Amino acid sequence: MNFELDWNNLLQEYAIPWGIKLALALVVYVVGRWVAKLIVAVVRRVMQRAGMDQILVNFICSIMAALLTVVVVVAALDQLGLNTTSLVAVLGAAGLAVGLALQDSLKNFAAGVMLILFRPFKTGDYVEAAGVAGSVEELAVFWTRLKTPDNKMVIVSNGDIIASSITNYSANETRRVDMVFGIGYDDDIDQARQVIEEVVNGHPQVLQDPAPTIALSELADSSVNFVVRPWSRTEDYWQVKFEITEQIKRRFDQAGVSIPYPQMDVHLNKLEPQNSPAQAA
């Protein structure tokens, strides 16, 4: 028996064909990666010129880059003669297994996609969601980072945010400032109303359109209550609320209008002691 290797036959049947396949696969991979990066760059440039939010741009480009990479790898493996149909099936089964093991993470991912696409808030907005209120510092795929007014950093999962109601205090350009001021029952209602109107209409940050609402709303247990509802720009909300509250208190003091304390009148009835049978005897 002749065990000598037939190098010529080996080269013709195995080395050269596999070398050509490997070279083609390498070319497909390199060119495919270059084309994928070019497509992502073009899409990024188009979205940025369209004025889309940077978070949404980065997210879409990341997903597109990952999908194109998978396509390029599959195309390169196909040049090697591998059964890519079976490979895709195996990858799908593996993806399903990983998805079942990472249900919470996938839920947060899906919620992040929803938040990024529908944009109920953006970076810098002051929101209340999932029981937490703060300014949005970063919206990531799995979580959102908020900064509370006392400068705490809170990380909230996107799944919890999308499952709860979201209040965006910064969404609109204007906000209504709701306040209630009480006066005593013995005070002059017209005088109190005049003082409130002068303070509200004289404040430079109060908008005249819509017009402020000043109305007597309630005859409470200890006070006669006025609702005061001026409008302001969203960024001036707290300034208007604090300054009007202070100014009305000072003007009430000057005008002699009282702001009563909560009080309760207690009446004691004195009962005469009844004589016992022994005392009667």
The CATH number of the domain holding residue 153 is: 2.30.30.60
Compute the distance between CA of residue 169 and CA of residue 154 in angstroms, rounded to an integer. 18
Instruction: Tell me what percent of the residues of the chain surpass a pLDDT of 70.
Output: 77
147 and 180 part of one domain: no
The answer as to whether 271 is a domain residue is: no
14 and 91 part of one domain: yes
pLDDT of res. 1 = 43
The answer as to whether 2 is a domain residue is: no
124-140 pLDDT, tens digit each: 899 999 999 999 988 87
pLDDT of res. 155 = 93
57 and 96 part of one domain: yes
The answer as to whether 144 is a domain residue is: yes
The answer as to whether 19 is a domain residue is: yes
State the pLDDT confidence band at 12, using cuts at 50, 70 and 90.
Answer: low
Task: Give the H or E element holding residue 110.
Answer: helix 103-118
16 and 83 part of one domain: yes
Stretch among 22-31, 32-41, 55-64, 161-170 having the lowest mean pLDDT: 55-64
What pTM did the predictor assign? 0.62
97 and 123 part of one domain: no
pLDDT at 2 over 70: no
Q: What is the mean pLDDT of the chain?
A: 82
245-280 pLDDT, tens digit each: 999 999 999 999 998 877 666 777 776 666 655 555
88 and 36 part of one domain: yes
The CATH number of the domain holding residue 251 is: 3.30.70.100
162-181 pLDDT, tens digit each: 989 999 999 999 999 999 99
224 and 180 part of one domain: yes
User: Is the bond into 120 cis (omega within 30 degrees of 0)?
Assistant: no
Range of 136's domain?
Answer: 119-168
pLDDT of res. 260 = 85
155 and 184 part of one domain: no
pLDDT at 202 over 70: yes
Compute the distance between CA of residue 68 and CA of residue 47 in angstroms, rounded to an integer. 18
CA angle 113, 172, 57 (to 5 degrees): 30
183 and 204 part of one domain: yes
pLDDT at 99 over 60: no
235-251 pLDDT, tens digit each: 999 999 999 999 999 99
Residues with Cβ within 8 Å of 16's Cβ and at least 6 positions away in sequence, in order, are none
The answer as to whether 264 is a domain residue is: no
Query: Domain boundary residue among 101, 131, 158?
Result: 101
Number of domains forming the structure of the chain: 3
pLDDT at 118 over 50: yes
The answer as to whether 136 is a domain residue is: yes
